[in-house]
Structure 1
Amino acid sequence: MLRIGYKASAEQFTPGELADFTVLAEELGFDSAFISDHFQPWRHTGGHAPHALVWLGATAARTSRIQLGTSVLTPTFRHQPAMIAQAFGTLGSMFPGRIILGVGTGEGLNEVPAIGCEWPERKERFARLREAIRLIRKLWREERVSFEGDFYRTESATIYDRPDSMIPIYVAAAGPMIAKYAGRFGDGFICTSGKDPSLYSETLIPNLEAGLSQQERQTEDVDRMIEIKLSFDTDVRQAKEDTRFWGALALSPEQKMTVEDPLEMEKLADSLTSDQTASRWIVTADPDEVVEKIRPYADLGFNHLVFHAPGPDQARFLRQFSEHVMPRLRTAFG
């Protein structure tokens, strides 16, 4: 079944604004809302970085139906996995069935400034993530947990306030190994749109399905979520210009991965033209074009579409989207 979500852009708006937008999204029929967990934003000027867990609790209290989650949080460096198990256990017990823990291996921009660590290679980051997920789930299942891992340990630890059922863990992946891991052990899979089509059709989805097969799981066992970068406005020139705030998304992974200062990231992003910044986005004033641009993702099995709009007037986007685009999407893919 098709699910439509809203990306609460923590790097662009104050936490209060984001909560207001999410309340509006629920009223307009969105099924979910996800917030990224950044210690620092992609750009210093005009940037924001609210604490995602604080925001989740406050926004869940203001809404009644919409599912809320992180896209994504890194439970391995500035967040210790046992503390994430406790925090999400609390959220899950207060708002049953509405909380999702989305996780990833992280970026130096978020972790290094906060704790002063040496940013490790991808292999270690992936190993830490796997171990963190094992520990988090063990703490949710068992009452007294003594855990001795390569990176984390607990001694007779108990999470006293936890939900009646396990909170779903969604795993973000941009490459084959983590996509396969998501298929083996994730409740959901997260990726972002706008990259080379072969990445999805030849790397991510085949490896996700290989992971499912290895564990003898069914396709429906993993929610396939993709963040759709959509700049939709009845004024197409405005839609294109709106992408400039998010210029960092058009930088290559190699350019971004080692940058630890939002001022430096901002400088790199501002060197790009609007044509370059728009390259990661669906930029249009035509709702039917939105459907056709999303069709390849739907054909690959993505059933949870979370829309990230770059413009400063999010309420305008939400209302235009719900009126012109959402009904077409539900008709085409629901």
Structure 2
Amino acid sequence: MVRFGYKASAEQFSPTELLDFTVQAEESGFDSVFISDHLQPWRHTHGHAPAALPWLGAALARTSRVTIGTSVLTPTFRYHPAMIAQAFATLGLIAPGRVILGVGSGESLNEVPLGTAWPEPKERFARLKEAVTLIKQLWAEDRVDFEGTYYRTEKATVYDKPETPVPLYIGASGPAATRMAGRVADGFITTSGKGHDLYTGTLLPALTEGAGKAGRTLDDLDLMIEVKVSFDHDADRALNDTHHWAALALSSDEKTGVEDPIEMERLADALPVERSAKRFIVSTDPDEHVAKIQEYIDMGFKHLVFHGPGPDQSRFIDVYGKEILPRLRTRNS
């Protein structure tokens, strides 16, 4: 069964607004809500960056049905992995079966301002792999002695943990971390709008390879993709709403070494709106919109989390719940 989620844009809205949107998303038929964990937003002006851990507890208390998780949190610099194991075990007890820990290797925008010397991708991957190993060990065992390259524990115990561990998903856009997700994770997270060849030619084969090494198939994992969508009956509005998130359209070369939201905002605002829109499915026709989303489902993704870029999120949730989700469920029933 394909599931459909709502992306609570922590970089764009206050924590109280996000809670209201989460409640509305549940009422509008979304199956899940995911929030990122940013220390700093992509833009300084009207930017937000609520801490994910306390927000998750509040969101779970305000809702009763939707699954809620992180897309994604970095358990390697600002947090010790054992703290994340403890926090999500607690959340799993508070709301059994409704919590997902999504992790990734991080972004310099969130870590360098706190004094982290930003390492090369090889080290970031190694840290993530070690952190995931430690988190899973703390959930499975008592009195954990762990001696890694980056983290260590001595007789550490997570005392309060649910009978069934919280599902752990790994977010990735390259083959190495994707293979790791296939081997050790319960789910895989990636984002849309990067060209179909990346998914069909690189990521999904790497995920299959990793799963095979662990004696698993893709049916054993939740394949989640954050789909960037801008749907509105007003074509100009649908197009221009994407500009708030123009930073997503910056190339790696353009944003490498940029850790200041003010500078990131300057670079993003210099882009034409046509370029910012390239990362999004922009449409005024619900059937056309659904057809473009369906391409990701046909690739094999089972859990689509929709990120609407506009300032009126209540409108987005209402329209999506009425016009898009029913069409998607009919096509995939």
Aligned to 2:324: 325
Residue 55 of structure 2 is aligned to residue 50 of structure 1: no
- Counterpart-to-counterpart distance in 1, 2:89 and 2:269: 40
What amino acid does structure 1 have at the position aligned with 2:280? W
Aligned to 2:244: 245
Contact 2:32/2:68, CA 8 A, preserved across alignment = yes
Write out aligned runs for 1:130-279 (5 A). 130-279=129-278
Unaligned runs of 5+ in 2: none
Q: How much does 1:163 deviate?
A: 1.0
Q: Deviation string for 1:150-196 (max 9, x for gaps)?
A: 00001111111111111111101101111111111110000000112
Contact 1:291/1:332, CA 8 A, preserved across alignment = no
Matched positions, count? 333
Q: How much does 1:135 deviate?
A: 0.4
Aligned to 2:112: 112
Aligned to 2:79: 79
Q: How much does 1:333 deviate?
A: 2.2
- Counterpart-to-counterpart distance in 2, 1:288 and 1:197: 20
Secondary structure at the counterpart of residue 33 of structure 1: strand
- Counterpart-to-counterpart distance in 1, 2:287 and 2:134: 45
Q: CA RMSD in A?
A: 0.8
Secondary structure at the counterpart of residue 182 of structure 2: helix
Aligned to 2:23: 23
Q: Percent identity?
A: 62
Contact 1:234/1:285, CA 8 A, preserved across alignment = yes
Contact 2:104/2:172, CA 8 A, preserved across alignment = yes
Contact 1:145/1:155, CA 8 A, preserved across alignment = yes
Contact 1:107/1:257, CA 8 A, preserved across alignment = no
Q: TM-score, normalised by structure 1?
A: 0.98
- Counterpart-to-counterpart distance in 2, 1:333 and 1:205: 20
- Counterpart-to-counterpart distance in 1, 2:124 and 2:83: 18
Secondary structure at the counterpart of residue 162 of structure 2: coil
Q: How much does 1:332 deviate?
A: 1.2
- Counterpart-to-counterpart distance in 2, 1:287 and 1:264: 36
Secondary structure at the counterpart of residue 59 of structure 1: helix
- Counterpart-to-counterpart distance in 2, 1:151 and 1:284: 46
What amino acid does structure 2 have at the position aligned with 1:236? A
Q: How much does 1:214 deviate?
A: 1.4
Aligned to 2:301: 302
Runs of 4+ in 1 over 2 A off after TM superposition: 253-258
What amino acid does structure 2 have at the position aligned with 1:275? E
- Counterpart-to-counterpart distance in 2, 1:281 and 1:328: 19
- Counterpart-to-counterpart distance in 2, 1:186 and 1:145: 20
What amino acid does structure 2 have at the position aligned with 1:46? H
- Counterpart-to-counterpart distance in 2, 1:178 and 1:331: 34
Secondary structure at the counterpart of residue 116 of structure 2: coil
Aligned to 1:36: 36
Q: TM-score, normalised by structure 2?
A: 0.99
Contact 1:259/1:265, CA 8 A, preserved across alignment = yes
Q: Deviation string for 1:251-276 (max 9, x for gaps)?
A: 11232342111111101100101101
Contact 1:75/1:103, CA 8 A, preserved across alignment = yes
What amino acid does structure 1 have at the position aligned with 2:247? A
Contact 1:36/1:73, CA 8 A, preserved across alignment = yes
Q: How much does 1:291 deviate?
A: 1.5
